[in-house]
Structure 1
Amino acid sequence: MSTLTKDDIWKMVQIMMSVTIIPLAGWVWNTNVKVAELENDLGDAEEIIEDLETRIMGSDDNAKQIIGIEKDIEYMKGSLGRIETLVTRRKDK
């Protein structure tokens, strides 16, 4: 039986390190790819959120304008009612 030399021990240490480091490097690579995909998805989501916020602001402005128009219409109905009352009174006299 042969004896173990320093060179044999060093080779065994290198094999153990390669068995440990190569899978870790693969795991780091895959994790990095997944993080890059998530960052890309996050960027897309941020753009969509900004677009939706802009639309919501526009919708709020439109709703306020509609409420204002409805109030104007109610005021005009009241004014027309008063005018109608005045016109019918003059016809009766």
Structure 2
Amino acid sequence: MPDEARSALVFRTGDCSAQTDLAALYATKSIAKGEGSIGGAWATGMPALNDDLARDGSVAASQASASGLSQMVVLPVIGNARLDAVLAWYL
């Protein structure tokens, strides 16, 4: 979700089949508008597909890639003409 200043996306909630504590993992991490697939979905307001997380560059993609995942589907959630959240699924 966007932080209070709407200057970066910060992690709020998620689920991992490996029971990883995602809140702790991403507590101090953020993604800038336009950064990687997630930041790109924020910048454009359009969904994104990424089939090579190793080339994404964002902290979320780097962590997912290190965990053996290689693909991502990103869906921006828009409300009142602005971004409310970004949903990302990793495969």
Is the strand fraction higher in 1 or 2?
2
TM-score normalised over the length of structure 1? 0.18
Q: Which structure has more RCO (C-alpha within 8 Å, separation ≥ 6)?
A: 2
Higher radius of gyration, 1 or 2: 1
